[in-house]
Amino acid sequence: MKRETFLGGAFILALAGIVSKLLGALYRIPLYPLLGDGGMGLFSMAYPIYALILVLSTTGINVAVSKLVSSRAAQGDRAGVWSVFRTSQLLLAIMGIVFSAILFAGSRYIATDITRDPRAYLSIAAISPAIFFVSIMSAYRGLFQGLQMMTPTAISQMIEQVVRVGTMLALAFILVGGGVEYAAAGASFGAVTGAVAGLVYLLIVFNGRRSEMGLPPRGTATGEKPLRTAIQVMTMAIPVSLASGVLGITQLVDMAVVPARLQVSGLAFDQATALYGQLAGGALPLMNLPTIFSAALQVSLVPAVSEAHAIGDARLISARTRTALRITLILMMPAVAGLYLLASPITGLLYGSPEIGVSLAALSSGVLFLAVQQVSSGVLQGLGMMTAPVKNLLWGSAVKLGLTWTLTSIPGLGVRGAAYATSAGFLVACALNLVALVSLMGADIIDLRGMLAKPAAATAAMGWVTVAGYSRILRATGSNSVATLLAIGLGVVVYGAALAAVGGLTSRDFEMIPGLGGRLARILTALGLVKR
Contact 222, 79 (CB under 8 A): yes
* Residues 302, 236 contacting (CB under 8 angstroms): no
> Is residue 377 packed enough to be buried (19+ CB in 10 Å), middle (13-18) or exposed (0-12)?
buried
Q: Which residues of 137-150 are buried (b: 16+ CB within 10 A; e: fewer)?
A: bbbbbbbbbbbbbb
Q: Are 26 and 166 in contact (CB under 8 A)?
A: no
Q: What is the pLDDT of residues 322-367, one digit of tens each?
A: 888 988 999 999 999 999 999 999 999 988 889 989 999 999 999 9
pLDDT score for 30: 85
Provide the 8-state DSSP code for 455: H
Specify which residues 531 forms β-bridges with: 506
pLDDT level of residue 4 (50, 70, 90 thresholds): low
CA distance 210 to 161: 25
> Helix, strand, or coil here: 383?
coil
Q: How far apart are CA 295 and CA 472, in angstroms?
A: 36
pLDDT recorded at residue 41? 76
State how far the Cα of 463 lies from the Cα of 495, in Å rounded to an integer: 9
Instruction: Report the percentage of the chain scoring pLDDT > 90.
Output: 40
Contact 97, 175 (CB under 8 A): no
Confidence at 252, pLDDT banded by 50, 70, 90: low
Residue 410 pLDDT level (bands cut at 50, 70, 90): very high
Q: How far apart are CA 452 and CA 219, in angstroms?
A: 52
Q: How far apart are CA 524 and CA 94, in angstroms?
A: 52
Neighbours of 525 (CB within 10 A): 16
Q: Which residue has the higher pLDDT, 241 or 524?
A: 241
Residue 516 has pLDDT above 60, yes or no: no
**How big is the CA angle at 186 (ends 17 and 140), to the nearest 5 degrees?**
40
- Between CA 203 and CA 209 the distance in angstroms is 10
Top pLDDT among 463 and 38 is at 463
pLDDT tens for 299-309 read 888 888 888 88
| Amino acid letter for position 182 | Y
Q: What is the pLDDT of residue 519?
A: 67
pLDDT value for 424: 95
Distance, in Å, from the CA atom of 245 to the CA atom of 57, rounded to the nearest integer, reads 10
CA atoms of 87 and 231, how far apart (whole Å): 10
CB-CB contact of 351 with 342 (8 Å): no
Distance CA 154, CA 509 (A): 21
pLDDT category of residue 285 using cuts at 50, 70 and 90: confident
65 torsion bin: left (phi>0), alpha (psi -120 to 50), beta (else)? alpha
Nearest to 386 by CA among 266, 302, 475: 302
Residue with the bigger pLDDT between 43 and 255: it is 43
> First-to-last CA distance in the chain?
29
- Contact 395/428 with Cβ under 8 angstroms? yes
CA 155 to chain centre: 16
Among 93-97, 102-106, 266-270, 489-493, the least confident range: 266-270
Helix (H, G, I), strand (E, B) or coil at 129: coil
Q: Is the model more confident about 487 or about 25?
A: 487
Q: What is the pLDDT of residue 530?
A: 60
What is the distance between the alpha carbons of residues 338 and 59, in angstroms, rounded to a whole number? Answer: 31
DSSP-derived 3-state class of residue 515: coil
pLDDT above 90 (res 524): no
Q: Which is nearest to 298 in space by CA: 10, 4, 522, 100?
A: 10
Between 206 and 449, where is the model more confident? Answer: 206
Please give the pLDDT value at position 391: 92
Q: What is the per-residue pLDDT for 208?
A: 84
Strands (E), 259-376: none
Note the pLDDT of residue 445: 78
pLDDT of residue 3: 58
pLDDT of residue 80: 84
Q: Where are the alpha helices (DSSP H) in 113-149?
A: 121-127, 130-146
Phi and psi torsions of 531, nearest 5°: -115, 160
DSSP states of 255-268 = HHHHHHHHHHTT--
Over pLDDT 70: what percentage of the chain? 91
Spatial contact of 183 and 43, defined as CB atoms under 8 Å apart: no
Note the pLDDT of residue 513. Answer: 61
> Looking at residue 58, what is its pLDDT?
83
Q: What value does the mean pLDDT take over residues 228-243?
A: 83
Q: Are 66 and 299 in contact (CB under 8 A)?
A: yes
Give the bridge partners for 506, in sequence order.
531
pLDDT at res. 6: 72
Give the model's pLDDT for residue 304: 87
Which burial class, exposed, middle or buried, applies to 311 when counting CB atoms under 10 A from its CB (0-12, 13-18, 19+)?
A: exposed
Q: Which residues neighbour 220 within 8 Å (Cβ) at sequence distance 6 or greater?
A: 79, 82
Looking at the predicted structure, is the pLDDT value of residue 243 above 60? yes
What pLDDT shows up at residue 435?
94
- The highest-confidence range among 94-103, 116-125, 244-253, by mean pLDDT, is 94-103
| Cβ neighbour number for residue 255 with a 10 Å cutoff | 12
| Helix runs in 383-516, H state only | 387-407, 415-441, 448, 454-477, 480-501, 507-511
Distance between CA atoms of residues 44 and 35, nearest Å = 11
The predicted-structure confidence for 143-201, as pLDDT tens digits, reads as follows 998 888 888 999 999 999 999 999 999 999 999 888 888 999 999 999 999 999 999 99
The three-state secondary structure class of 381 is helix
Residue 270 class from Cβ within 10 Å (0-12 exposed, 13-18 middle, 19+ buried)?
exposed
